[in-house]
Structure 1
Amino acid sequence: MTDNPFALFDTWFAEAKASEPNDPNAMALATADGAGRPAVRMVLLKGHGPDGFVFYTNRESNKAADLRENMAAALLFHWKSLRRQVRIEGAVTLASEAESDAYFASRGRDSQLGAWGSDQSRPLDSRETFEARFAEMTARFAGCDVPRPPHWGGYRVTPDRIEFWQDRAHRLHERRVFTRADSGWREGLLFP
């Protein structure tokens, strides 16, 4: 046992990487717009540590619009094979330009081209339209590196609350919760 939620997350995440058949870094991202209307979707964790949990996306997407209006979010990891979940809540900030550039450069070329070709979350008249835009981007960047689009980058969720949920028999689950305090983290248990 540890009193450091990031160390516990690292342990659980390593176990998920070893046991989950697909995308152990998949997490549900919940946002709310300025009027409080919630939305949730799956994104991929691309970095984490004591400074927060990082994902990348089109900054003109619906999730980005929500975050411009309400810079707070919740994350949920559900590792079914381990019968565990982790809930994270906190403030959201933009990842730096350097971080966003570095991650974008690490992506596969087709993913890079797709970021240029997609108007994420906007209506699309047909799949052919998107495929044509992808072909245009392929031609545009032929023979050179694909730079990060100016509308694409990272977000960091800096947690003020992290809950670790472990399945137990007869629905007698274990729930450990960490809340940020001035002196570090307070730990407690929750009824299942």
Structure 2
Amino acid sequence: MIQPLPIRPIMLASELRDAGVHPRDITAALERGDILRAARGVYVTPEVYVEQQLDDAIVCHKTGGVIGHLSAAQRHGLCDASPAATEILIGHTGVGGSDLPIRLIRSRNPDTLSVGVDHEDFHGLLIRMTDRARTVVDLYRIEPKATRQHAIAALTTYLGEGDPVSTLYQYAKTFDCWQDLQPEVEAVQATLERGMSL
């Protein structure tokens, strides 16, 4: 006899197994369309499946990482970057999900996963992403030559929308890159004060 699943917006296979749900019941729920497979070991209701934040929640859950760099810049509306894969900041020994469209950016600095990181609950999964200031700082410190145009656009947007320089300074000092960022901040501020656009 097939048992109905305890339907929640997001269900992990491990939680279902721990609750004594038989694999045939999961298969039956999938066939009925009660749930959909969002990723390996992650099942969701049809309503959650179409939510834009689902992929971010799954990536953060499976990697334990933080959405950052160009992916965070795009989500914050700081620049028009469109990375092919979600860029995830993880610890040096962290692992990524091989079934996910992600690009891992590894770091030995423990502050990478905590300083300037926002947390948002998404139906029980935690989405972790660098905040606007931290994202700008990272664009200048991680692969700065490859992301130069996006870094300038992000900094210009950040300052043009009135976000505080003091937060940029704080994060840049933490990550030892203020000497690179300061002249850029001053140049963009001068341009904005003259009423010109880059």
Structure 2 length normalisation: TM-score? Answer: 0.23
Q: Mark the structure with the bigger radius of gyration.
A: 2
Judging by fraction of residues, say which structure has more helix: 2
RCO higher in 1 or 2 (8 Å CA, sep ≥ 6)?
1
Judging by fraction of residues, say which structure has more strand: 1
